[in-house]
Structure 1
Amino acid sequence: MDRTAHADLRRPTIGIVAGSGPEAGIDLWAKILRRNAAVMGTAFRGDLDAPRVVVLSEPQLGLSMDLAANEGPVWEAMQSTVTRIAGQSDAWAIACNTLNWFAPRIADLKLTAEFVSFPSVVADWIAASGLRRLGLLGAAPVTEMGAWSAYRHLAGLVEIETPADRAALQDLIHDVKRLGSADPGLRPRFARIVEAMQADTLLLACTELPLIADISTSKTLVDVTDLVADALVARSLAGWDRADMTPAQQENDA
């Protein structure tokens, strides 16, 4: 097989735009790795069957916590970063719920790689789940369900409950970014917010919240990042058949 034919067998590359917050890109990448191994099951060999992943982390994107005040500089950083990630990947996502507000503008860039947006993945999940009521937990721009929320259109699909004390949740998210997810004071605060919600199923629409979601609760916590990891892995495996490659080609392709 010549080099051109070999290149055609190369597994599609996943792209991750990171930087808001500091651990969000790592969390999405880890979930992609776990999902990939789970999908492949006993056929998974380890290194050779891990997905190709490119990560670009831009700290300036962290200004999205106050998107209304920082729209200009955030979009400037976003446009530069997504243009670069699209040139290095086949399917990519932004590891931040709030930043997916820019999805329409990103579509207008007409990038060659597929952008897998968080809201589109959530909409597909809602349609498949049959849920009628859902709690939404996220940063203030998300939970206000106004002009700055990437999830404002979900209200047309399902009844949405948001936390009564959005300020407490916003402060908690800031502290996960500032203190790191291992801080012992974070989980009790998160548990109180979760238990105050009436909905039985809560959507964790902030990449910081899954980092502290290992709490005791009777509610079902759905991590948007998990859903996105599933979607990215599906695209990474689509059309890729390692059985068509010789062992030597498999080794070189790793």
Structure 2
Amino acid sequence: MQANPVSRKKIGIITGSGPEAGIDLWSKLLAANRTIHGDRFRGDLDAPDVTIVSESTLGLSMELAENDRAVWQCLRQAAEAIAHRVDYYAIACNTLNYYQPQLEALQLPATFVSFADAVSGFVKENRIERVALLGARPVTDLGPWSHYRTLAEHVTIELPKPALAEQLHRLIYDVKTHGGNVEDIRRRFRDILNGLESHTVLLACTELPLIPLDAGHKQAVDVTELVARRLARLANGLQP
């Protein structure tokens, strides 16, 4: 078997909040890459070149306002390390994408691929006018710590009511501890989905897609998968 003569771009994934989220993004990147190649896929030689950096300190992002300094120091070091090995990189955590402006200001040799940019592209392409946003508290309050605070410029956003938002935040912690395939976690997540009015629901937390659940009549949009598709296209020299 001959080597692929096409010069492919290298991809980086920063993870740790939680580590399973990085595995999930990598797995979905591999699936998206296979779809792009279709019948021409040859296996190993057509798989993307991926570098992973996993830092457990990034788990402090669940309470970002209290841990900003420690989280940013860790994330910056991870980005600086990975950027010299790859062409594009993403962070497998919706909350940590808050640091997009700071990361871009570093002018690293690799290009950052953000979750919010992938979501904005999705809602525009599909002409979606209303979505429900599910994620950790720093994301769903749409305050100064939310990576999605500019999303309202493109679409009407339904946020979970305060009691539901608190249940969701605790649910995410429990997925980190116990995994998503637990009956109690599946039941609680189903109740949260049923409490929303919007048809389209953004799973804007990398733990939520780890819960195996039929969303029923709702369209649950896995933001991790949107980013994985974008990374796969970039890896193959295609427009995102």
Q: TM-score, normalized by length of structure 2?
A: 0.94
C-alpha displacement of 1:137: 0.4
Stretches of structure 1 that go unaligned for 5 or more consecutive residues are 1-5, 240-254
C-alpha displacement of 1:102: 0.3
CA distance in 2, matches of 1:51, 1:156: 34
Deviation by residue 1:183-236 (Cα, 9 ceiling, x = unmatched) = 221111100000110000000000000010423411000000011001100110
Following superposition of structure 1 onto structure 2, how do residues 49-198 of structure 1 map, counting pairs within 5 Å? 49-164=46-161, 165-198=164-197
Structure 1 residues 156 and 114: CA distance shift in structure 2, 3 A: same
CA distance in 2, matches of 1:97, 1:157: 18
Paired AA for residue 212 in structure 1: I
C-alpha displacement of 1:7: 11
SS where residue 37 of structure 1 aligns? Answer: helix
Structure 1 residues 55 and 186: CA distance shift in structure 2, 3 A: same
Following superposition of structure 1 onto structure 2, how do residues 219-238 of structure 1 map, counting pairs within 5 Å? 219-238=218-237
Match of residue 48 from structure 1: 45
Paired AA for residue 225 in structure 1: T
SS where residue 19 of structure 2 aligns? Answer: coil
Following superposition of structure 1 onto structure 2, how do residues 179-218 of structure 1 map, counting pairs within 5 Å? 179-218=178-217
**Identity level (%):** 47
C-alpha displacement of 1:47: 1.2
Paired AA for residue 238 in structure 1: G
Stretches of structure 2 that go unaligned for 5 or more consecutive residues are none
Match of residue 246 from structure 1: none
Q: Work out which of the two has the higher radius of gyration on C-alpha atoms and give 1 or 2.
A: 1
CA distance in 2, matches of 1:216, 1:54: 32
CA distance in 2, matches of 1:116, 1:127: 17
Structure 1 residues 36 and 194: CA distance shift in structure 2, 3 A: same
C-alpha displacement of 1:18: 0.5
CA distance in 1, matches of 2:230, 2:7: 19
Paired AA for residue 184 in structure 1: E
CA contact (8 A) 1:122 1:224 kept: yes
CA contact (8 A) 1:36 1:51 kept: yes
CA contact (8 A) 2:193 2:215 kept: no
CA distance in 1, matches of 2:5, 2:159: 46
CA contact (8 A) 2:95 2:205 kept: yes
CA contact (8 A) 1:191 1:217 kept: no
Deviation by residue 1:102-126 (Cα, 9 ceiling, x = unmatched) = 0000011001111101111111111
Aligned length: 234
